[in-house]
Structure 1
Amino acid sequence: MAKDSLKTTEGGKTSIGHPAPVDPSIFATTATASEITWRKSGVASITAEEPKMKPNENEKKLLAEKVYRCFTPYIIFGYAFLRFPLQGSATAQGYIFHYNKKSIPAIGFIITSTIVAVTAALFFMNTIGSALDYPPIHPNPPNDSSRIIRTGNYRFEELYILRRNIIPLIMLISSLCHATVGSWQFFKMRHFAASYFTFWTEIVEIINIDVAEGVKRYMTIVLSCYGGFLVIFFVVCAMGFAPVASGGPAILGMLCVRCFYPRIHTHSNFWVLRGFGGFLFFYILICSKTFILLFVLICRLLRNSFAVWNTRLQRVLLKGGSNETKNCNPAYLSLTLIFRHKGEDKFRSSEKIVDRTEFSLLFKDHVCILDLLEGADALFANIIESYYASQVAKLSDRVHYNKMNLTTIYRQICSIIFEVYYFYRSQGSEEFQGARRLDGLIITLYLIHSLAILVVVSLAAAEVGEVAMDGLAVLRQRGMMGSMSDDELYFVMPWLHYCRYFSLDKGFLVTIVGTVFSYFIILLQFSPSLIITKSIDPRVGAYNTSILIRQVEETQELFSKLKVGY
């Protein structure tokens, strides 16, 4: 879908065009030629005409206000971390979103996106340089050792540090890739995003639909849980609670400046760089999830939109609907029918809104909702693709790392038995000495966070398609489908498909789990070596290893006896 596919309909309202593979003649009984303008490019522009009997204007504005308020928790979160460049405001015409390049949110977003992009470039360049030893590290200490705190083979010390922190390294690679792609995609689509979010506040007035039920509360809970994880994760990393918590910031600092000073890990003030790397590591993790959380918000709105339309269709086909819903406000009707509120309908209003249940209005409303679906597809396609690609690689490596005794197993991949097994090994194995025993707790915290976000995102997207398919089930039950072609069926089978590469449904989530499990089996067959405690290379002696770990990681001495390789 092109970025400039936003169009203006009658009355100054914004509309989003979407591909329409269906011949409009099949809907001759529901829409006239004057109501649908088909362009040569195959894009439909639907004019959602106002009904002859106008509803209460104050109640229509209330619908738009509720949608606008749904964005409030995310806007606060985005502004706090300078990750949302748009501004929202209430005007005489309604609620709008706009992009102002001179505003603080826009400037902050550009600065933070630049920091992420530069960090990613330096990180990947120095990662390759470390693998190729370029620029080379002098194998022996120089004569002037005023800035060197010990002796050793610098090249093998560097390799030992990287291998010891291989899982934080993988986490950084995936997070940097996803954060960079997300920042670029949203910046590129910034004007489209502003128009798309504004269209949400306008379309609820046009088609008289309430989509905000429970969305603000849901997003508040999700963002609060995510914020709680960030606070805990930041505290444990700042405290040096476990080697894996301080090793991640250390290698991020190393791989950001290696091209300028290859022996940076030997510097006496390395702790300053490690502290800076900790803040940067923490911020990159936030940047990699910000737009995924925005996607969840849009999915909840889409889900409610299709639910309302489905119930209106059912009311028409069932000649007035059931006793449960016939007296309900049409704007809130589906949320009563689908989610089965008990007792008196809490959304019932004394002022009735005009019921848009004519076939012509149903068709136009459905196309408007499809516009919203296509807009979400265009805005989040690259972001979602990069997220799932990084999750498959990242989660697979973490599962293998669990086998190497540094994390816990994903329950969806293996079983809770492996978690118990890992806990037993981490407490009793000789590889885990002193503070290294706490590595499992830190990685477990991060894995729970990753699993929760993966499930929330996947189910939110799957619910959109499932609720949309309920409308198809209604049509089939009433015998209205008849003999329809594949293109016609596609029109009434909307999914979030993302550039036609895949459709987000629960089957896709199962496919991801199967892919991760298959990759896990392959890794077990090859069993690549991970040196996480002791050095097997004589060029990094035991004495130097102990000092090296304390110099680079500086984990707090939570145990009285810290052995070599803690």
Structure 2
Amino acid sequence: MPYIIKYFNFWLKAVHTMNIDATQAAVVPALVGIGFAIVITGLFVPASFVKALPSLCGMPASIAIIVGRDFLPGLMEPVNPSKRSFGGLFDALYIFGICLHAYLMMSSYFFVLLCMTVCKYLRNAFLMWNGRVYSSLLRGGDYIHSKEGRSTYALLYKDHATLLDLVEGTDRVFVYILESFTGLSILSLCLELYFIIRTAQKGYSEKAALEGGFFVRKHDWIAGGILTIQHGVMLIMALRITSSVGEEAMAGLEIIRRKTMLGRKADEELYFMLSMFSSYTSDNPIALCGGGFFVCNKEYIIGVVATIISYFTLVFQFEPQLDFNPTAGVDTSREKIQEFIDRLERPLLWDP
């Protein structure tokens, strides 16, 4: 925690020292992510009242049972839905479970959205620095090689070193978020895609319903589809924004290359260009590196997509059973499980 405080304090000092405004459209990705999460949550909340989507009803009902099991011993007793009115204690606990479920869905992306916003700040900072280097080396103007425009070679290199410190700090602060979010998203997408296909194929089959009626229901794939869209969109957004930092940082190398074709005018310019070449061609890339395990760029995005497709193909070929005993008939254990889930997935408003 102390390092995070120092990191954001360093951001304030760096912005003031470099005289830049890195907030231009920086909150747009976060607002888009928040809006998308609100839409997905808005789909989950009303769907939690519908028995046709048991995969969504189970989460709030489970929370209600966990909260009220100590002081409501008859919470799981059989209830006749026709005699049950909305507004009971279980319904209140169920609504509490829906609110908690929505909160968990929204809060789980908070640090990812924060990482996206900071990466946008960093990308804007590199964009402005590249503009100053371009003006100093390839164009003319009143601010060329002036302290007011932070365009002298000494100030440009100091600002570049400051940006490198910001990249290192950002990588250190958000390394665990990037690693865990990427890894869990890959695992979730593989399993969710498999769940959608299996339930969509067998959920409407009478034979599959008899073999495992308590698990494969014909509308289960809808909940899986909503979750898959949410995880997929957030993963692509996060990877695309984090990779833009390295792309914009390396754009400065192209400016240096163009200047070398035109010749140099002073030794100070040569020293600056050699220093920049050393910085750009070092072993450590100017990008978020995830603690050294990967480099956030377009190649990494393609690798993540290829990994998801490969793992999903393997899972789909082996076809692991969603039911623990799919070949058995409706025996005593299945009847007990079916009875338990019927109590768990009590419809509140609509039972189509």
TM-score, with structure 1 as normaliser: 0.50
- The residue identity in structure 1 corresponding to 2:292 is R
- What is the aligned partner in structure 2 of residue 563 from structure 1? none
Tell me which residue corresponds to 1:292. 112
Aligned equivalents of 2:179, 2:49: Cα separation in 1: 32
Question: 2:233 & 2:44 partners in 1: Cα distance?
Answer: 15
CA distance change for structure 1 residues 281 and 536 in 2, over 3 Å: closer, same or farther? farther
Cα deviation, residue 497, structure 1: 0.5
SS at match of 1:540: helix
Contact 2:61 2:344 in 1 (8 A): yes
Distance 1:265 1:473, change over 3 A: farther
For 1:510 and 1:251, how far apart are their aligned partners in 2? 38
- Alignment pair present for 1:311 and 2:120: no
Q: Specify the code of the residue in structure 2 equivalent to 1:526.
A: F
- The 3-state SS of whatever aligns with 2:343 is helix
Change (3 A) 1:399 1:224: closer
Q: Which residue of 1 aligns with 2:297?
A: 505
Matched with 2:85 is: none
Write out aligned runs for 1:193-342 (5 A).
193-240=4-51, 242-251=53-62, 266=76, 276-320=96-140
Higher relative contact order (CA 8 A, sep 6+): 2
Distance 1:318 1:484, change over 3 A: closer
List runs of 5+ in structure 2 lacking aligned partners.
Answer: 79-88, 261-269
**What count of residue pairs does the alignment treat as equivalent?**
322
CA distance in 2, matches of 1:366, 1:312: 11
CA RMSD, aligned part only?
3.8
Letter in 2 for 1:510: I
Please list the CA deviations of residues 58-115 of structure 1 after superposition, one character each: whole Å capped at 9, or x if unmatched.
Answer: xxxxxxxxxxxxxxxxxxxxxxxxxxxxxxxxxxxxxxxxxxxxxxxxxxxxxxxxxx
Q: Which residue of 2 aligns with 1:442?
A: 223
1:372 is matched with which residue?
166
Indicate if the aligned counterparts of 1:238 and 1:278 stay in contact, CA closer than 8 A.
no
Give 3-state SS (helix, strand or coil) of 1:499's partner.
Answer: helix
Written as runs of structure 1 = structure 2, the 5 A alignment for 1:110-509 is 189=1, 191-240=2-51, 242-251=53-62, 266=76, 276-320=96-140, 354-405=148-199, 429-430=205-206, 436-479=217-260, 489-490=281-282, 493-509=285-301
Report the secondary structure of 1:286's partner residue. helix
1:551 equivalenced with 2:343 (yes/no): yes
> Which residue in 2 is equivalent to 1:47?
none
TM-score with structure 2 length normalisation?
0.77
Letter of the structure 1 residue corresponding to residue 329 of structure 2? I
Counterpart CA distance in 2 for 1:491 and 1:204 is: 27
Per-residue deviation at 1:456?
A: 0.8
Deviations for 1:173-222, whole angstroms, at most 9, x for unmatched residues? xxxxxxxxxxxxxxxx2x33233223323322211112121123443333
Amino acid across the alignment from 1:553:
E
* 1:72-111 matches, cutoff 5 A: none
| 8 A Cα contact 1:271 1:552, kept in partner | no
Judged with a 3 Å threshold, the aligned counterparts in structure 2 of structure 1 residues 362 and 536 are, in CA distance, closer, same or farther, namely: farther
CA distance in 1, matches of 2:74, 2:163: 55
**What's the CA shift for 1:273?**
6.3
Unaligned 5+ runs, structure 1: 1-188, 321-325, 331-351, 407-421, 561-566
Return the alpha-carbon distance in structure 1 between the equivalents of residues 49 and 350 of structure 2. Answer: 14
In 1: Cα distance, 2:151 partner to 2:25 partner: 24
Conserved in 1, the CA contact under 8 Å of 2:49 and 2:347? Answer: no
2:229 & 2:191 partners in 1: Cα distance? 15
Q: Distance in 2 between matches of 1:228 and 1:254?
A: 27
Q: 1:377–1:496: 8 Å Cα contact kept in structure 2?
A: yes
Amino acid at match of 2:333: V
- Structure-2 separation of matches of 1:486 and 1:277: 56
